[in-house]
Structure formats: C-alpha cells, structure tokens
C-alpha cells in the first residue's frame, strides 16, 4: 500500500476500477470539496466550477486504470481537475485577451496586498477577472506553473503569459484598493 493513500481510498479506487457505482459515489463525495476548491480558481462562478468538477470526475472514473497507486491520489485528482479546467477554458474562450509584455511593463505590483487577502476573498476576486487573466493568474500564482508551462498549456506566447499575469495582478490590486476604500468608508460613517 502506498504511504500516500489510505486503505479506505485504495478500496474505493478498487471499486471504481470495476465500475462499482457506490464506490464512485463515495470517492466523489470524499473529494468533492477539494475538487470544487481547485476548479473555482479557474472559473467565474460556482456553476461553471461544478460542471468542470463533474467532467473531471467522469475522466477519473473512465481513466482510473491509469492512476499509479504508488503516488498520492489527491495529486492525480488535482492534475485531472486542472487539465479539465484548461480544456473547458480552451473550448469556451473565443477571444482570449493577449497582449505583449511590453504593454504591461510599467504596472506596479503590491505583492503584500495580495498575500494578505483571505483565501476566499482572493478566489472571489480572481473569479471576476477576464478568463485569460484568470487562467494565467491561477496557473502561475495558485498552482505554481512557470510562464513557459502556461504558454504551452494555453497556446500563447511567454510574453502574453507574463502580460496577462501583470494585468491580472493590477486588476486584483484595483479591486483590493476599492475593497479597502469601501471598508474605510463603512467604518468612518
């Protein structure tokens, strides 16, 4: 047994291998919260995230035999969900926002403001970003992808990835500034 996966998880995975509906249901329930949290990073709303989670679990159930039991299941599930979100983005995006890095060179970034946000506040703000910015920000900041990896996944240039990240950060900074101003005005009243 892998040190990463409990006996209960391995039993559920064995059930999923033989297409046992109860095992699939239990695995889904066990990891739904984790999966929806991941997918919310890549979508503009919860309904879209639910759609991606369901598509991701469908892939998991149909490709369960490709899972390496010596590796953590949660890591594999995350990879499947992120790839499903990327597939969804590619399918849905008709006019991606891409600009060269030169246009975003002079945008100041306040890293401390973003790092001080509560996680859910950050996700709520990320969901308000245009899709291309949201995807690059989520891949780079939340999931640790390099610009080269992002460029390959989204079929954009490295410069566009950098530009979109800079613009996403700027939009988040503006949202954060507005939020801070709103809170200040509420306190002063």
Kindly state the DSSP code that residue 36 receives in the 8-state scheme.
Answer: H
Q: What is the pLDDT of residue 177?
A: 82
Boundary residue ending a domain (37, 72, 92): 92
Q: Provide the mean pLDDT of the chain.
A: 84
Average pLDDT, stretch 146-163? 92
Nearest to 96 by CA among 161, 31, 41, 184: 161
Q: CATH number, domain at 128? A: 1.10.10.10
Q: What is the pLDDT of residue 153?
A: 87
Q: Do 76 and 121 have their domain in common?
A: no
Q: CATH number, domain at 71? A: 1.10.1740.10
Q: What is the pLDDT of residue 168?
A: 92
Residue 2 located in a structural domain: no
Q: Do 109 and 146 have their domain in common?
A: yes
Q: What is the pLDDT of residue 188?
A: 55
Residue 62 located in a structural domain: yes
Q: Domain residues for 141?
A: 101-188
Q: What is the pLDDT of residue 12?
A: 94
Token duo for residue 161 = 């990835």
Residue 1 located in a structural domain: no
Q: Do 107 and 82 have their domain in common?
A: no
Q: What is the pLDDT of residue 109?
A: 55
In contact, 102 and 166? CB cutoff 8 Å:
no
**Model confidence at 64, in pLDDT bands (50, 70, 90)?**
very high
Q: Do 147 and 167 have their domain in common?
A: yes
**Model confidence at 95, in pLDDT bands (50, 70, 90)?**
very low
Distance CA 56, CA 80 (A): 6
* pLDDT over threshold 60, residue 112: no
Distance CA 35, CA 93 (A): 22
**Model confidence at 1, in pLDDT bands (50, 70, 90)?**
very low
* pLDDT over threshold 60, residue 136: yes
């Amino acid at each position: 047994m892998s040190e990463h996966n409990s006996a209960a998880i391995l039993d559920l995975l064995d059930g999923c291998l033989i297409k046992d509906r109860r095992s699939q249901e239990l695995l889904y329930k066990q990891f739904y919260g984790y999966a929806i949290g991941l997918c919310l990073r890549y979508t503009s709303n919860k309904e879209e995230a639910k759609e991606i989670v369901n598509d991701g679990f469908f892939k998991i159930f149909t490709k369960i035999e490709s899972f390496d039991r010596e590796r953590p299941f949660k890591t594999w599930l995350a990879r499947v969900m992120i790839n499903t979100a990327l597939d969804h983005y590619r399918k849905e995006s008709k006019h991606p926002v891409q600009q060269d890095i030169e246009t975003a060179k002079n945008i100041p970034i306040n890293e401390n403001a973003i790092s001080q946000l509560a996680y859910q506040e950050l996700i709520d703000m990320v969901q308000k970003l245009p899709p291309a910015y949201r995807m690059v920000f989520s891949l780079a900041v939340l999931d640790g992808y390099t610009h080269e990896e992002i460029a390959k996944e989204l079929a954009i240039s490295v410069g566009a990835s950098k530009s979109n990240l800079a613009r996403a950060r700027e939009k988040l900074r503006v949202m954060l500034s507005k939020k801070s101003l709103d809170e200040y005005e509420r306190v002063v009243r």
